[in-house]
Amino acid sequence: MNQVLLITGGSRGIGAATALLAARQGYVVAVNYRQDVAAAGQVVASIQGSGGQARAIQADVSSESDVERMFREVGQQLGTPTALVNNAGILEQQTRVEHLDANRLRRIFETNVIGTFLCAREAVRCMSTRHGGQGGSIVNVSSRAAVLGSAGEYVDYAASKGAVDTLTVGLAHEVAGEGIRVNGVRPGLITTEMHASGGEPERVARLAPGVPMGRGGRPEEVARAILWLLLEEASYTTGAILDVSGGR
Ligand code: NAP
């Protein structure tokens, strides 16, 4: 039976690195993206060029109907998912809490929290032995921001990742007897395009001297931790949240 992995936000950054590594480990990979079809296509082409199997699937994870359609399409095109990486996430312009408004809070929480919950729900429906599934593995991509709080930058984003950590622990306990492991990673400062969304593309370089290891991380370094948690090598690990942050 094929091991089928769905990665949300798999078109760039940490998600793309995870897609490429997972394909090398033998997963059939569904690369979800929201709008950047070209970037998703590049990841798929790279996997196929190395003899792997992958498809790009557009869906906005904050939309319940999109998430349901995405899981249906993965099932039809690649097979029932046996693994999910809940990676899609957003942040917005750096600011202080007194400048946040409800619309921004809704956008952040709809993608980072509701999207993560909806995808986890669909994965459980596919994987749980309670629903006739074969079991599986889920990894939620959180952030060290959940612990550090991101003061003066994006406390909303940090709080949304705190919710993701709570989901990881609660869902892990809920489905532990149904063949599903649920774990999380908390990346630190990783060099991706995400920091440009906060208005500071060079943020990693500015903050790197304060990291105990003295540098930012690469997406591939997070991908390796995600893959370890996904795979059977981590067969007795559930409800765990692994910091991948150079000590920060
Ligand atoms: P990135 O380079 O900005 O890539 C984000 C990905 O998410 C893209 O593929 C994007 O697709 C997708 N996406 C965004 N909103 C979506 C939505 N509503 N539905 C579906 N896909 C959506 O980000 P990254 O730095 O790799 O971050 C990946 C994850 O790691 C995020 O959860 C982030 O919070 C977390 N993280 C990152 C860092 C860091 O320093 N970079 C640190 C800690 C945690 P489109 O391009 O098509 O919109």
The pLDDT mean for the chain works out to: 98
Q: What is the mean pLDDT of residues 8-15?
A: 98
Tokens of 10: 């798999």
What per-residue confidence (pLDDT) applies to 92?
A: 98
Count the neighbouring beta carbons within 10 Å of the beta carbon of residue 247: 9
Is residue 142 predicted with pLDDT exceeding 80?
yes
199-234 pLDDT, tens per residue?
A: 999 999 999 999 999 999 999 999 999 999 999 999
Q: Compute the distance from residue 177 Cα to the ligand 1 centre, in Å.
A: 31
Q: Compute the distance from residue 9 Cα to the ligand 1 centre, in Å.
A: 6
What per-residue confidence (pLDDT) applies to 84?
A: 98
Annotation marks residue 157 as catalytic: yes
Q: Quickly state the pLDDT bin for 81 (edges 50, 70, 90).
A: very high
Instruction: Select from 42, 90, 139, 161 the residue to mutate for testing ligand 1; criterion: most ligand atoms less than 8 Å from CB.
Output: 90
Which domains are delineated in the chain? 4-244 (3.40.50.720)
Coil, strand or helix at 57: strand
Q: Are 219 and 191 in contact (CB under 8 A)?
A: yes
What per-residue confidence (pLDDT) applies to 187?
A: 99
177-188 pLDDT, tens per residue?
A: 999 999 999 999
Q: Whose CA is nearest to atom 7 of ligand 1?
A: 9
Instruction: Select from 70, 86, 87, 160 the residue to mutate for testing ligand 1; criterion: most ligand atoms less than 8 Å from CB.
Output: 87
Burial of 109 (0-12, 13-18, 19+ CB in 10 A): middle
Coil, strand or helix at 243: strand
What per-residue confidence (pLDDT) applies to 46?
A: 98
Burial of 132 (0-12, 13-18, 19+ CB in 10 A): exposed
Q: What is the mean pLDDT of residues 92-97?
A: 98
What per-residue confidence (pLDDT) applies to 215?
A: 98
What per-residue confidence (pLDDT) applies to 61?
A: 98
Is residue 1 predicted with pLDDT exceeding 80?
no
What per-residue confidence (pLDDT) applies to 183?
A: 99
Q: Compute the distance from residue 159 Cα to the ligand 1 centre, in Å.
A: 16
Q: What is the DSSP string of 156-192?
A: HHHHHHHHHHHHHHHHHHHHGGGTEEEEEEEE-SB-S
Q: Which atom of ligand 1 is nearest to the CA of 88?
A: 7
Q: What is the mean pLDDT of residues 9-38?
A: 98
Q: Compute the distance from residue 197 Cα to the ligand 1 centre, in Å.
A: 10
47-58 pLDDT, tens per residue?
A: 999 999 999 999
96-127 pLDDT, tens per residue?
A: 999 999 999 999 999 999 999 999 999 999 99
What per-residue confidence (pLDDT) applies to 2?
A: 86
Please identify which of the residues 33, 154, 157, 236 carries the catalytic annotation.
157
Tokens of 61: 């994870």
Q: Which atom of ligand 1 is nearest to the CA of 219?
A: 26
